[in-house]
Homo-oligomer: A and B are copies of this chain.
Amino acid sequence: MAEVGTRTADVMAAVRAKIAARALAPGDRLPSIRRFAATMGVSPSTVVEAYDRLAAEGLIRAQRGSGFYVSSHALPPLKLAEDGAPRARTVDPFWVSRQSLDADEAVPKPGCGWLPADWMPNEALRRAIRTLARGGDDMLSYYGNTRGSPVLRRLLLARFAEEGIEVAPDQLMLTSTGTQALDLVCRFMLRPGDTVLIDDPCYFNFQALLKAHQVKIVGVPYTPAGPDVAAFERLLEAERPRLYLTNSALHNPTGATLSPQIAHRVLNLAARHETTIVEDDIFADFEPEPSTRLAALDGLDRVVRIGSFSKTLSASVRCGYVAARADWIEGLVDLQVATNFGGPSPVSAELIAHVLAGGGYRKHMEELRRRLVRARRETADRLQRLGIEPWLSPRGGFYLWCTLPEGRDSTGVAQAAFAMGVVLAPGNVFSPSQGASRFMRFNVAHMADPRIDRVLATALAGD
């Protein structure tokens, strides 16, 4: 937090000591600034600073125009109740999110969906932050325009073009987060009772989000080359889904890649049944080279592309985007103004643009891809020694979708591991049909802690 000068800290300590010793009771007025400055042998501005900081902490309060008083309210406890103490809960699609987001930093989390902090481009981000501190007042103060930072949008258009996806400027908007991009699209396209097709298995939060929209969720079996086309066709006919939601590149949780043939057929079938496709491309930059994209084949006619920078750049500087038909973007912009009063924090968009524009990002991603190749191989070897087998060998990314030994239930294993202080991602949180009880998703970048193997072995033995 803010640095405190020694003298200010002394004055603060003196006030705290008086309160602790009951020389000042709740409701008492503090000595005047001038008097206390004389007592402490410091300047009045030091006392002002100390009082202001104590007021910000809640120990004393400023009565506008009449001085400072000892707060009559008990201080909130230093440690907030829920921090560092994730509760046991039902293992539902929220389970992994809450356990991995709220777990203590020290807890090994092979179940989480992000890279360790020291794998991220932190130095590039620090440079961007220092540049921001030298920037103008407007950048630091204003809401930004309704589609988000023009600089970042321009960089994104260039990157899309590099992947072969033609996007016009009026087909792109920034959003607070990648998840919020999907949420906006769902609000725009769906009504309660509509049907949405998702992959089985798929990213667990898709189910949580769609439940918030009160729609019917139908799963299509996912193969190592994309959705099962025959099942896809049957479901389009039987269920008439409004949307099909998928990851094409490095599918979550399987790490599979959509083949060009399946992409082509999925798109034709969607066109025939007037189903819109939402393609979440959040893992795109982890591919060794771009694979087939539905958005590239379709040209954003029937496909909406969404994504964010949380996996490759920073999840602490949040920003997502939607690329879609211009008239849809127009509607989505209004919806984002209504529900969020605009898009991401402009400072976040500025930081991301700065990192992307700097030459270091591509180099960082190349190194990251090499590092992940090794980590996938090493993790697969370690898991195989425990009888845990990867379903396929992904061409990129940080997930391995694995089967546990015969007869093991991954929910039970995850609960047992959680009790031993390791957060895992059991298969059924990803499966709309609950048909993945023998599967488990492993994040190969979070396997450094040697305890993990022991905990896994114990959990597997005990289940």
Which A residues form the contact surface with B (CB < 8 A)? 1-3, 48-53, 55-59, 61-65, 71, 73, 75-78, 80-83, 94, 97-98, 101-102, 105, 114-115, 117-118, 120, 122, 125-133, 136-147, 150-151, 153-155, 157-159, 161-162, 166, 168-170, 176-180, 183, 187, 192, 205, 208-209, 211-212, 288-289, 310, 314-318, 333-335, 337-342, 344-348, 351, 353-354, 356-363, 366
Among B80, B131, B158, point to the contact of A57 (Cβ < 8 A).
B158
Q: In the complex the two chains form, what is the Cα distance from A131 to B73 in whole Å?
A: 31
Distance (Å) between the CB of A347 and the closest chain B CB?
5
Q: List 16 A-B contacts (CB under 8 A).
A: A1-B354, A2-B131, A56-B158, A62-B162, A76-B161, A80-B170, A94-B337, A98-B146, A101-B143, A105-B138, A117-B138, A126-B140, A176-B180, A177-B342, A187-B212, A212-B339
- Contact in complex: B338, A64 (CB < 8 Å): no
- Contact in complex: A358, B102 (CB < 8 Å): no
Can you name the residue of chain B whose Cβ is closest to the Cβ of A129?
B133
Decide: A129 near B132, CB < 8 A? Known: A118-B137, A337-B98: yes
- Contact in complex: B169, A52 (CB < 8 Å): no
12 new A-B contacts at CB < 8 Å, known A73-B166, A122-B137:
A1-B353, A49-B359, A52-B361, A56-B361, A76-B168, A76-B169, A80-B154, A179-B340, A183-B340, A205-B337, A205-B338, A208-B337
Can you name the residue of chain B whose Cβ is closest to the Cβ of A187?
B212
- Contact in complex: A170, B337 (CB < 8 Å): no
- Contact in complex: A341, B170 (CB < 8 Å): no
Distance (Å) between the CB of A338 and the closest chain B CB?
4
**Which residues of chain B are near A340, meaning CB under 8 Å?**
176-177, 179-180, 183
**Which residues of chain B are near A351, meaning CB under 8 Å?**
347
Q: In the complex the two chains form, what is the Cα distance from A337 to B94 in whole Å?
A: 8
Can you name the residue of chain B whose Cβ is closest to the Cβ of A355?
B2
**Which residues of chain B are near A81, meaning CB under 8 Å?**
169-170
Among B64, B126, B180, B208, point to the contact of A288 (Cβ < 8 A).
B64
Can you name the residue of chain B whose Cβ is closest to the Cβ of A362?
B52
Among B115, B125, B363, point to the contact of A52 (Cβ < 8 A).
B363
- Contact in complex: B153, A80 (CB < 8 Å): yes
Decide: A52 near B3, CB < 8 A? Known: A154-B76, A337-B101: no
Among B158, B168, B345, B357, point to the contact of A2 (Cβ < 8 A).
B357
Decide: A345 near B316, CB < 8 A? Known: A83-B145, A169-B81: yes
- Contact in complex: B141, A362 (CB < 8 Å): no
Q: Which 5 A-B pairs have CB atoms at the shortest separation, nearest pair first?
A: A58-B158, A52-B359, A208-B338, A73-B161, A117-B137
Decide: A347 near B316, CB < 8 A? Known: A183-B339, A339-B212: yes
Q: In the complex the two chains form, what is the Cα distance from A77 to B167 in whole Å?
A: 12
- Contact in complex: A338, B161 (CB < 8 Å): no
Distance (Å) between the CB of A249 and the closest chain B CB?
14
Can you name the residue of chain B whose Cβ is closest to the Cβ of A162?
B61
- Contact in complex: B315, A142 (CB < 8 Å): yes
Distance (Å) between the CB of A132 and the closest chain B CB?
6
Distance (Å) between the CB of A124 and the closest chain B CB?
9
Point out which of A130, A131, A161 has the most chain B C-beta atoms below 10 A from its C-beta: A161
**Which residues of chain B are near A128, meaning CB under 8 Å?**
2
Among B53, B94, B159, point to the contact of A359 (Cβ < 8 A).
B53
